[in-house]
Amino acid sequence: EVQLVESGGGLVQPGGSLRLSCAASGFTFSSYWMGWVRQAPGKGLEWVANIKKDGSEKYYVDSVKGRFTISRDNAKNSLYLQMNSLRAEDMALYYCARIDNGATHDYWGQGTLVTVSS
């Protein structure tokens, strides 16, 4: 059974940093692209970033470029999102997702909440 478990969310001040993690199990992690999608309170879904199977390619939504870094450790079956210079508009529930052919997000975690507030 595919499982994705996010962690690392919490309360951070504007301008602060946070590192999200996603522990994957139930599939061959190194065979899939992975990504992060976020959902602000009461709002819709917004794609944040994707990373290739071997970590050699990374893509970001414009609003986080230069501030967020997606990475992975295939030996640990783990996906990460380093978030720096956090802003109020980054406050959201962050979901980790497995990506199949055609950028389709076929499995999602339960999400980890990031709150940006002073």
Residue from 41, 75, 102, 117 binding other proteins (CB under 8 A): 102
# binding residues, other proteins (CB under 8 A): 23
Question: Computed from CA positions of residues 90, 93, 94, 95, in that sequence, does the dihedral angle turn out positive or negative?
Answer: negative
Q: Provide the token pair at 29.
A: 């992690």
Distance in angstroms (rounded) separating the CA atoms of residues 51 and 85: 21
Comparison of 13 and 43: residue with beta carbon closer to other proteins: 43
Distance in angstroms (rounded) separating the CA atoms of residues 7 and 18: 11
Determine if 104 is a binding residue for other proteins (CB under 8 A).
yes
Taking contact as CB under 8 A, which single stretch among the options 9-17, 59-67, 74-82, 83-91 is the one that binds other proteins? 59-67
Comparison of 32 and 95: residue with beta carbon closer to other proteins: 95
Helix (H, G, I), strand (E, B) or coil at 30: helix
Shortest spacing between CB 35 and other proteins, in angstroms: 8
Distance in angstroms (rounded) separating the CA atoms of residues 98 and 87: 26
Determine if 1 is a binding residue for other proteins (CB under 8 A).
no
